[in-house]
Amino acid sequence: MTSAFLYAAARTPFGRFNGALAGVRPDDLAATALSGVLAKTPALDPAVIGDVVWGNANGAGEDNRNVGRMAVLLAGLPTSVPATTVNRLCGSSLDAALIASRAVESGDADVVVAGGVESMTRAPWVLPKPSRAFPAGNVEAVSTTLGWRLVNERMPAEWTISLGECNEQLATEFAISRERQDEFAARSHELAAAAWDAGFYDDLVVAVPGVDLSRDESIRVGTTADKLAGLKPAFRADGSITAGNASPLNDGASALVIGSETAAVGVDPLARIAGRGTSALDPQRFGFAPVEAANRALARAGISWSDVGAVELNEAFAVQSLACVDAWKVDPEVVNAKGGAIAIGHPLGASGARVIGTLAHRLRESGERWGVAAICIGVGQGLAIVLENTTLPENSTTNREVAS
């Protein structure tokens, strides 16, 4: 089997719920990210793309009917380029990258584009279809933006609690204080703003046509733990989770070019996809699922946490992020050093490819060899990927050698 490599990454700025991207359809956002990542590989003939694998969590509105294929058509790619849409909720575009890498490794395709999109603003309300025509009673419209909807009554009640209550339970289980959560959230905003100011995201983010948005819209400059401490708990009267230490609702898209070592891409690869991991546990403990996913990915890459120089963990909630970092016993300073989803945003289907692209660019910037990207997924799942930096000088074998 050949190895799979990451050649390019791009994403749109992430907009706030009802913000600057509210007027943009999700299929148009997807096409923007797809066009943006292919612009980074101008020598690549789009006709040789073996598949496009696209992540999307909601898929109940304008992103229905295989939004990956819609992105291909709207981006002006040849109609011969196939595409599929995958749904692993928050992990959808990371899952798309894993699927793409397997296709390359198996020889099914030489180049695959992976990515994802979500417009949480434009997620529609839905009505349950009646079991027979013309029911006499009223029917309730259900929002598809986030969380469980139209729940099967056979599901145990403890599985179907709100995402916030799930994480309140994690806070209790691991004794993670409100203070730690607020400090983590404030750090996310501080680092994201600093990364934008330093130009880190300039090469990763592509503009959305017709929209005046040059940066991620949810970043709040000047956020401090003291300011966050003044917010009221959102899920329990005596709880620790607030709107400030959880990720917001967002709109955006992201994309990756993945190919073999000999793919006619025209640029050198950023990273080798060295390991993959999936995991699952009780649905209410979903926030802790990245722990085992990352451990499995590391084992398949043949390395340990002591080799890892950079981690990108999607910050669904500060508490679940802290629980994962504590369990890995990794240096917290290498986690989300350019900010995380609490500041940048979490458009569900786009977040997995975002953390992969950010990780690859962090490795290139720092000279570290190994990095891990991981994400938690509602209903009790986690995904992770290990990247090996391929931009290192020859004969560099460890993070410490590169740093010295």
Cα 14 to Cα 10, 32, 295, 351, distances in angstroms: 12, 13, 29, 10
15-32: burial string, b at 16+ Cβ within 10 Å, e else: bbbebbbeebbbbbbbbb
Is the separation of the CB atoms in 245 and 184 below 8 Å? Answer: yes
The contacts of residue 272 (CB under 8 Å, 6+ apart) are 3, 4, 5, 6, 387, 388, 390
Question: How far apart (Å, rounded) are the C-alpha atoms in residues 48 and 82?
Answer: 11
pLDDT at position 135 is 86
> Alpha-carbon torsion 355, 145, 245, 285, what sign?
negative
d(CA 123, CA 116): 15
Using CA atoms, how far apart are residues 62 and 265, in angstroms rounded to an integer? 32
Which amino acid is it at 174? F
For the residues of 118-131, what is the DSSP string, one character each?
A: EESTTPPEE-PPPS
Q: How many CB atoms lie within 10 A of CB 401?
A: 13
**DSSP secondary structure letter of residue 393:** P
> What's residue 402's pLDDT?
38
Q: Is 324 a catalytic residue?
A: no
189 is catalytic: no
Long-range contacts (CB closer than 8 Å, 24 or more residues apart) made by 123-127: 123/58, 123/60, 123/61, 124/60, 124/61, 126/60, 126/150
Classify burial at 55, counting beta carbons within 10 Å of its beta carbon; exposed 0-12, middle 13-18, buried 19 or more.
buried
For residue 145 the two structure tokens come to 């933006």
Confidence (pTM): 0.96
Residue type (1 letter), 3? S
Whether the Cβ atoms of residue 342 and residue 246 lie closer than 8 Å to each other: yes
Closest to 48 in 3D by CA, of 315, 262, 350: 262
Helix %, strand %, coil % for the chain, to 5?
Answer: 35, 20, 45
CA 396, CA 33: separation in Å to the nearest integer? 33
Which pLDDT tens digits describe the chain residue by residue (404 residues)?
A: 799 999 999 999 999 999 999 999 999 999 999 999 999 999 999 999 999 999 999 999 999 999 999 999 999 999 999 999 999 999 999 999 999 999 999 999 999 999 999 999 999 999 988 888 888 889 899 999 999 889 999 999 999 999 999 999 999 999 999 999 999 999 999 999 999 999 999 999 999 999 999 999 999 999 999 999 999 999 999 999 999 999 999 999 999 999 999 999 999 999 999 999 999 999 999 999 999 999 999 999 999 999 999 999 999 999 999 999 999 999 999 999 999 999 999 999 999 999 999 999 999 999 999 999 999 999 999 999 999 999 998 655 544 343 33
Chain centroid to Cα 93, Å, comes to 6
- Specify whether 166 is catalytic: no
String of DSSP letters for 226-255:
HHHTTSPPSS-TT-S--TTSB---EEEEEE
Phi, then psi, of 401 in degrees rounded to 5: -65, -40
Catalytic residue among 90, 189, 324, 361: 90
Q: Which amino acid is at 84?
A: T
Q: What is the pLDDT of residue 394?
A: 67
SS3 string of 365-381? Answer: HHCCCEEEEEEEECCCE
Which tokens hold the place of 38? Answer: 């292919």
Set 166, 189, 324, 346: catalytic member? 346
